[in-house]
A and B are shown apart, each in its own frame.
Chain A
């Protein structure tokens, strides 16, 4: 394959080169300028039409506050709320201190527990796709504590602190000293700027183990009220 033939000067061959415009071979149907213009115009027209159509299909902003509206950012966010602030990444986790306690923390993450059992883990990392972060978190679940892990479904409209991302709903058996307890696992991640935050929630299982929202409102609060840096 690396063979290189010795070049033969074209002049040694008895074939003249065609003068310009002698035949169809030297002509184009579209001149270079026209081809570029047509390509740019065609792509631009399609892009504009579809972009406008997509923009028009986006849901309009509600004229009044609906369930998705964020609570006021001033004042105490919960009667008994306590905030954990991660110094390294700058995010803040608001939680109900009558329900949860900080069980563990390190540079990237905080673990909230209740009655000695992990209830929520919030972890920050360098920006990656939310689906990748969810996948990595699920791959690293502590299988000595969580057994019989079963994937159920993706979580439609998953958000972390009002930032859309990806999420997965799983069921498992939580193994404690009191025995095994069926639990629902919700792993959600979102990316903003240069960081991704993954939230892992250990919740009560919904009836039929179907995706039906977070059962424990205190956990829902942790997830939805998470404050991204700069917010």
Chain B
């Protein structure tokens, strides 16, 4: 199953990845990161299709995609 990883200490919490994920598999992490932002995290167990839309739109290059 494809998956993504998020570099949580680079994420500024703009949430653009959430707005483009076709499967709704990215959610906000309630725990603050070292930048003082709420980063995003990947919801495991869903049906990620590895489209990489999240990585394409991420302005901070925090997302890596595996397929």
Do these two chains really belong together in a complex? no
